[in-house]
Amino acid sequence: MTSLKCIIVDDEPLALNLLQDYIHQTPFLKLVARCSSGVEALDVFNNEHVDLAFIDIQMPHLNGLELSRIIGNCFVIFTTAFEQYALEGFKVNAIDYLLKPFSYAEFLTAANKAQRQAELVNASHSLGNSTLTPKSLVIKSDYKQQIIKTSEIAHIEGIGDYIKIHLETVISVQTLMTLKNIEEELPKNQFIRVHRSFIVNIQKVKTIERQRIVFDRVRIPVSDFYKQAFFRALGIK
């Protein structure tokens, strides 16, 4: 049985307590954190591995839909008192949608969907060679799913809650996602962080001037914190 690490995000204390109780009743779920806002949850996602998120949609500052677009590679089940948000929830590829108030049976049905989906993902990884370099990424941009070959990526830039993926063709793709989330999906033998705001494709690095990587007219700084690992990856001592 696949175990899932969970997070609850809801600004209502009663809803947090109910979901926590439901998770504790479910053997394949393990609660990592409970958060009363989307902003608080971002800190957890940046520091913890999370498989499944139960997210309320209507929250101040950062609502559930906005949060789900940022967190990247994580299953999402929306919980809300407003049925009209169901369609919006499925637009961001949510596993399921729970309309408050919901019973444990309804909760378990949704959680089982997430577990089955996780088992399918794990099975596909087992069938293939998980040590091979992933050849492509599926990125949400402009309400579309775009398939991007990793071999075509020159570098990735973090801009607040967004990232901009710069391709060799000078085209760039922008999506609501953190640099940490995309870093987890990239092949470690091909991409490396060189700055808190930049990840580069090692295979595309041809010129370095004054501790800056040169991509045509773009110059990317290599910070002191990442410098040693970057030069080691290039085979430079």
The CATH number assigned to the domain holding 142 equals: 2.40.50.1020
Burial of 28 (0-12, 13-18, 19+ CB in 10 A): middle
If asked whether residues 95 and 20 sit together in one domain, one would say yes
CA–CA distances in Å: residue 69 to residues 6, 10, 26, 56, 106? 17, 16, 27, 14, 24
3-class DSSP state for residue 41? helix
Identify whether the C-beta of residue 175 lies closer than 8 Å to the C-beta of residue 139.
yes
pLDDT tens profile 84-99:
655 555 455 678 889 8
Does 120 or 69 have the greater pLDDT score?
69
Which residue, 65, 98, 127, sits at the end of a domain?
127
Dump pLDDT digits (tens) for 92-124.
567 888 989 999 999 999 999 888 878 766 665
> Do 140 and 88 fall into the same domain?
no
Under the phi-then-psi rule, with left for phi > 0, alpha for psi from -120 to 50, and beta for the rest, what region is 160?
left
Residue 147, both tokens: 């398939």
Which domain does 28 fall in, by range? 4-127
If we measure between CA atoms, which residue out of 169, 154, 158, 157 comes closest to residue 205? 154
Among 127, 151, 179, give the residue marking a domain's end: 127
In a shared domain, residues 52 and 71? yes
Residue 64 dihedral angles phi and psi, to the nearest 5°: -65, -35
CB 30 within 8 A of CB 4: yes
Are 223 and 158 part of one and the same domain?
Answer: yes
pTM comes to 0.55
